[in-house]
Amino acid sequence: MEIYIVRHTQVNVAKNICYGQTDVGLADTFLEEAGVLKSKLPENIELVYSSPLSRCKKLAEYLHERLIFDENLMEMHFGDWELKSWDEIDSEQLNTWMNDFVNISTPNGENLSRLYERTSIFLDELRTKPHTNIMLVTHGGIIRCIWAYVLEIPLQNIFKMPVHFGEVFKLKLGKDKNRDSIQKWR
């Protein structure tokens, strides 16, 4: 199964704001960015799985008619840190979390292990579906977890992989993990 993985376009949020699962809007450049994205994608996409957050939902609706929304594709939940500037967050709490974001949850939020678990559940189930060509519209954290899942890399290394707004990746998901492959799509 070929999967085109798309990160949502730019959001209407100031830089340096932690927004995770907060349902923020898209930038005024949405139509332009979405048009460019659509031109990069093949026409034979059967179905789109999308995060239900509006920044992904709006893009998914623009790109395709057949949609399934799945909460496992939502960004990491930052709990009490949602919509705060990273500079506003208590430095001791932030440093503790930064030292082990894989295992330590944000206050009333989740950790990277939980995000990875949700991603793995989604991909394990997707592997059993009869699809040929599909698309995922999701978030940077989920995309990095997909990379970790396919490449079997340690979670603490996923932020070494840049994932830009509106970026497209292509994944081949096999019947088992030994047949998976990932490549960047242009």
Name the residue type at position 43: E
Per-residue pLDDT of 18-62, as tens digits, reads 999 999 999 999 999 999 999 989 999 999 999 999 999 999 999
The residue-averaged pLDDT of 156-180 equals: 93
Strands 84-85 and 168-172: unpaired
Residue in 72, 74, 184, 66 with CA at minimum distance from that of residue 133: 66
Greatest CA separation for the chain: 50
DSSP at 156: G
Tell me which residue has tokens 């460019």: 36
Per-residue pLDDT of 62-92, as tens digits, reads 999 999 999 999 999 999 999 999 999 999 9
CB 84 within 8 A of CB 117: no
pLDDT of res. 183: 74
Can you read off the two tokens belonging to residue 27? 């930038």
Residue in 45, 31, 64 with CA at minimum distance from that of residue 131: 45
pLDDT band at 186 (very low <50, low <70, confident <90, very high): very low
Q: 79-107 burial, b if ≥16 CB within 10 A, otherwise e?
A: eebbeeeeeebeeeebeebeeebeeebbe
Give the domain ranges of the chain.
Answer: 2-184
Residue 126: CB partners within 8 Å, gap ≥ 6? Answer: 1, 3, 49, 134, 173
Q: Which CATH number fits domain 2-184: 3.40.50.1240, 3.40.718.10, 3.30.450.20, 3.40.50.1980?
A: 3.40.50.1240
SS (H, E, C) 104-147: CCCCCCCCHHHHHHHHHHHHHHHCCCCCCEEEEEECHHHHHHHH
Tell me which residue has tokens 């048009």: 35
Taking the C-alpha atoms of 128, 130, 133 and 139 in order, what is their torsion angle to the nearest 10 degrees? -30
Per-residue pLDDT of 104-120, as tens digits, reads 999 999 999 999 999 99
